[in-house]
Amino acid sequence: MHSTRGSLVVLMSLLAAASCVDSDENGTPNADAGLDLDAGSKSDATTPTDASLIDAPTPTSDASDATTLDAGGDSAAPDASTTFTCGAVTQLDSKGGIDGSASVSAATGPSGRWIATWFQTSATSGDGQYHAKARVMDGSTLLPEQDLGITTFALGAPVAVDNAGRAYTFQDASRRTVDLATGTLTAESLASIAGGGTDKIAMAPLRAGGAISLYRTGTAMVADRWDTVQSKWVATDLVGPPLALGMRVVTNAAGKAAALWYVSDGAGGNDLYVSTYDGSHWVAAKKKNFPIGGGSTARFTLALLSTGDAAIAYEVGGAMAFMKYNAIAGTFGAPTTVNATGTSNPALVVDDLDRTTVGYLRGGKAYTRLDTGAGFSPEHDLGAATSLRLKEGPAASVVALTYRTPSIYIARAGAGSSAWSTPVSTAAGISNGEDVARQADVVFDATGRAVVITQQNSLDGGAGLVMAQVTCQ
């Protein structure tokens, strides 16, 4: 996240058939919609589709693939009171043949730079292997597509970008950094990542430079930090019980962080662990048990307040609950019921003024509620949807997106406002239903325009999926 007042982008889909993988208290995969693939930063408005990616060949690119784009309009962000107008949908990848079961991840950097990652199927990669791919916008030009290497676990990978313009991602057991100004890519082996499971690693940017990399070794949860002086990953002092079901990590503008993971308690419920980072050290993880008698719990989402306290939204017994974790005291606050019945797919965004927006699905629609410090506002109906993503955007706007068959829609609301503009079609997306929580993402250019990155039906009438982009202002 990259704004001082925070804007949100809400990605909604009317069909959530395919979804990113998370697990309930019994370890059963769930649609982990509404979790922010813009890995970490202040809010985990989605998961990343927490996932993983193994060995990588030397990255390659096709220089003929570079495209110069209109840097676009005024330097100010669009007026948050207006509805979006969207341009043409254009193809982002070079070959097509996108793996629809994998996740799309994208993140915004400084000066309108951004990066998007996706996965190409073995049938179209040229060597019979699945490949992780990336493309960088350097502010005015789409740089050549990068091959991040062969992947054996193609659910998806988070990508995080710091304010110095360096992106961080991973592919199987190799973490990668990308210079958004040049597209230069480096890799570092991380053989200690444990295999299997729904999550392998989570990442969040340190805004001043660097990132936090949270992962499991098989015996413990640990975290590394990218050291900008040494230009390498260095160990931190986080050590916690190993992950079984899900993990999250987020950071704030002050360089603080919070990590969350949860495991089965062996009796049908979940044990939730939270640890906070003060910029130098992690506090020992604290545990909160959610017994099965209180209702099934799943899809824990995480955001970080300016104080370093954590905000957590989650499903429990068909309701959506919200609670805070006090970083200094190491205690969990009393849960607040945001919606009492029929709720799924919680989403959460906190801006730099600690204004908190929660989102959820109920009865085939998506809803949001805003807390500016005096409690949650009445819910706002965002329309028909079966998947949901919230994401913070630039400047002082609050932006919104929706998916209605056959396309993704977009709308917005002002920072600190619970009102949303009327959603308009982007004409992009998968026409027979799309889970935007994992099959789409959104970034922002230098003028504050939203760039929707999405899996897409072939634009030339061919079979299979391609990666596409559409700019809305």
Which residues partner with 51 through β-bridges? 201
Token pair 């916008």 is at which residue?
A: 137
Are residues 26 and 415 in contact, defined by beta-carbon separation less than 8 angstroms? no
d(CA 135, CA 83): 28
User: Considering the domain boundaries, does residue 234 fall inside one?
Assistant: yes
- What would the two tokens of residue 216 be? 């499991």
DSSP assignment string, 253-289: TTS-EEEEEEEE-SSSSEEEEEEEE-SS-BPPPEEEE
d(CA 44, CA 248): 7
User: Considering the domain boundaries, does residue 255 fall inside one?
Assistant: yes
> C-alpha angle 434/435/436, rounded to 5°?
100
User: Considering the domain boundaries, does residue 108 fall inside one?
Assistant: yes
Are residues 5 and 399 in contact, defined by beta-carbon separation less than 8 angstroms? no
User: Considering the domain boundaries, does residue 263 fall inside one?
Assistant: yes
Element (H, E) at 321: strand 319-326
How high is the pLDDT of residue 172?
66
The mean pLDDT values, 10 residues at a time, for the chain of 473 residues are 43 38 36 38 47 28 35 40 89 89 90 92 83 90 87 69 92 80 77 53 91 85 92 91 83 96 92 96 96 88 96 95 97 96 90 90 91 94 87 72 84 81 90 89 91 94 90 93
Per DSSP, the three-state class of 162 is: coil
How high is the pLDDT of residue 468?
97
Instruction: Indicate which CATH number applies to the domain containing 303.
Output: 2.130.10.10
Q: For 104-194, where are the E strands, in sequence order?
A: 105-108, 114-120, 131-137, 141-142, 146-150, 160-161, 166-171, 174-179, 185-189
Are residues 135 and 127 in contact, defined by beta-carbon separation less than 8 angstroms? no
User: Considering the domain boundaries, does residue 1 fall inside one?
Assistant: no
How high is the pLDDT of residue 61?
36
What is the total count of domains within the chain? 1
* Residue ranges making up the domain that contains 394: 7-472
User: Considering the domain boundaries, does residue 315 fall inside one?
Assistant: yes
How high is the pLDDT of residue 327?
97
State the chain's maximal CA–CA distance in angstroms: 59
User: Considering the domain boundaries, does residue 212 fall inside one?
Assistant: yes
User: Considering the domain boundaries, does residue 229 fall inside one?
Assistant: yes
